[in-house]
Structure 1
């Protein structure tokens, strides 16, 4: 049976964790990127679809390509981060279901229904993006997930040879610089946005 995490772990994952705009000058190695994936892939997706496809931009050239597709405010964040991750989704994820969900013919649920695949790929890759953030935090890193970019331009730069793969969102990754963040925005009480039916 699982046990509740202690306060220090809850703080690291949620209560004191922040989205960062800048990072310390400290590299993030490939072994750490692989460790993030090895954690995030364990999070649940519908029928184990795992539609997320990630490009880990670590070279100056790759980060410059991403920055070129971003708003003026986001460009320096991307160029200054040790890593920028493109969290994308594969609309043809169902081709892998015989391997990933082998106990039934789940592929047939999606064959010939692109609209269903697109909705499912977006929903489940978004879940995986959340797992990416939590895995990074669990390993002592920080993230800066963002919109404010031209998804079509990112797709053209990174997924031109795989048209079934499209960008969901992007996120910087590294060891956060506390000077780059402002005071936390309000978080409402349960009663404001919840009800028990």
Structure 2
């Protein structure tokens, strides 16, 4: 079935033009089943050779959120402590071990064997893509997110990935039902001509 018809304006608004990043959330829980649905959406976004290197830790207990908050800088700690869910988006530099299952029609694993530099670059690039899909999938489900980079990555790795040394933190985020009352004016977005070239 071809999908060559644009989605409607309301959907575009929810995903992009009116979608916002949140620092504060309503006092409304996010059920574990919703996390599974969110993952099942975001995993469908394209990655190179279906690498799917993102490894997520969903911090739903207060203990886990507090532990993550201790790794954050500035006001991010409070955001992580009070959000319904806080999330670590990690990247597995040994993702290629799963390629025989995830990309079975060719020997893609051999492309990465013995080349750690290529694996690290691919893991970062494609887990970042998956992080973007995480944001869009959350918005599609009526949830809000607050992606952030103000944290000590080494401390997060030690706290959450000590038992999986091939996994390192890419970025972290909050997740919940965003509180519209907490929003400030949207930051500017540039016109096409400012940052784009057609050649």
Q: What is residue 176 of structure 2 aligned with on the other side?
A: 174
Q: What is residue 26 of structure 1 aligned with on the other side?
A: 28
Q: What is residue 112 of structure 2 aligned with on the other side?
A: 110
Structure 1 residue matching 2:99: 3-state secondary structure: helix
Q: What is residue 96 of structure 1 aligned with on the other side?
A: 98
Once the two structures are TM-superposed, the CA of residue 72 in structure 1 deviates from its matched residue by 2.6
Structure 1's unaligned 5+ residue stretches are none
Q: Deviations over 1:49-76 (max 9, x none)?
A: 0000000000000000100000131011
Q: 2:160 aligns with which of 151, 158, 161?
A: 158
Structure 2's unaligned 5+ residue stretches are none
Q: What is residue 10 of structure 2 aligned with on the other side?
A: 8
Q: What is residue 17 of structure 1 aligned with on the other side?
A: 19
Measure, in 2, the Cα distance between the counterparts of 1:90 and 1:144: 22
Answer with 175-184 or 151-160: which moved more: 175-184
Q: Given the two structures, how large is their TM-score scaled by the length of structure 2?
A: 0.98
Once superposed, which parts of structure 1, at least 4 consecutive aligned residues long, lie more than 6 Å away?
A: none
Measure, in 2, the Cα distance between the counterparts of 1:153 and 1:185: 30
Once the two structures are TM-superposed, the CA of residue 179 in structure 1 deviates from its matched residue by 2.2
Once the two structures are TM-superposed, the CA of residue 84 in structure 1 deviates from its matched residue by 0.5
Structure 2 residue matching 1:115: 3-state secondary structure: helix
Once the two structures are TM-superposed, the CA of residue 180 in structure 1 deviates from its matched residue by 1.9
Equivalent positions of 1:60-139 (< 5 A) are: 60-139=62-141
Q: Deviations over 1:126-152 (max 9, x none)?
A: 000000000000000000000100000
> What is the count of residue pairs matched by the alignment?
197
Q: Deviations over 1:7-48 (max 9, x none)?
A: 100000000110000000000011100000000000000000
Q: 1:59 aligns with which of 55, 58, 61?
A: 61
Measure, in 2, the Cα distance between the counterparts of 1:15 and 1:194: 19
Measure, in 1, the Cα distance between the counterparts of 2:191 and 2:163: 46
Once the two structures are TM-superposed, the CA of residue 171 in structure 1 deviates from its matched residue by 0.6
Tell me how large the CA RMSD over aligned residues is. Answer: 0.6
Q: Deviations over 1:75-109 (max 9, x none)?
A: 11111100011000000000000000001100000
Measure, in 1, the Cα distance between the counterparts of 2:45 and 2:74: 34
Q: Given the two structures, how large is their TM-score scaled by the length of structure 1?
A: 0.99
Measure, in 2, the Cα distance between the counterparts of 1:175 and 1:112: 44
